[in-house]
Amino acid sequence: MSEMEKRIGQLKKPKFRNSSELSTEQLNDPDFRLKQLEKLNKGKTTITCSKCHHCR
């Protein structure tokens, strides 16, 4: 089995982070990641993917 196949095999099983690895905000604020990105982007974030139904 190649390294690539091994890696893809491992990805078939969902992996969750332990709650103790995450802050209260990370565990409760659904927009936490969006806000982090916003900070990186000086206050403006362009989100469009879920609006365009690209997957068909």
Partner 1 sequence: MIVHWYSKANMDTLNQENRTEFGFQWHITNRCNLRCTHCYQEDYSGSNELDIDGLKQIADEIVRTLAKWGKQCDIAITGGEPLLKEGVFPLINYLESFDEIASVDILSNGTLINEGIVEQIRDLKKVRCIQISLDGASVESNDAIRGKGTFGKALTSIRLLRKSGISVNIMFTLQRRNVRDILSIIDLAVAKGVSSLTIERFVPTGSGAKIRDELLSPEEIKRVFGYISERAEQEINRGGLTSISRSRPLWVMCNRSSLGADMTDNDATGGICSIGLDGLCILPDATVLPCRRLPIPIGNLKDDSLLKIWHTSDLLWEIADKRNLKGKCNSCEFITRCSGCRAMAYACTGDYLAEDPQCFK
Structure tokens at 26: 């990370």
Closest distance to partner 1 from the beta carbon of 21 (Å): 9
> How far separated are the first and last CA of the chain, in Å rounded?
32
Decide: is 24 part of the binding site for partner 1 (CB under 8 A): no
Q: Tokens 């879920």: give the residue.
A: 50
Q: How far apart are CA 6 and CA 13, in angstroms?
A: 12
Closest distance to partner 1 from the beta carbon of 18 (Å): 8
Residues of the shown chain interacting with partner 1 in the complex, contacts defined by CB under 8 A: 4, 7-8, 11-19, 22, 26-28, 30-31, 33-34, 36-38, 40-41, 43-56
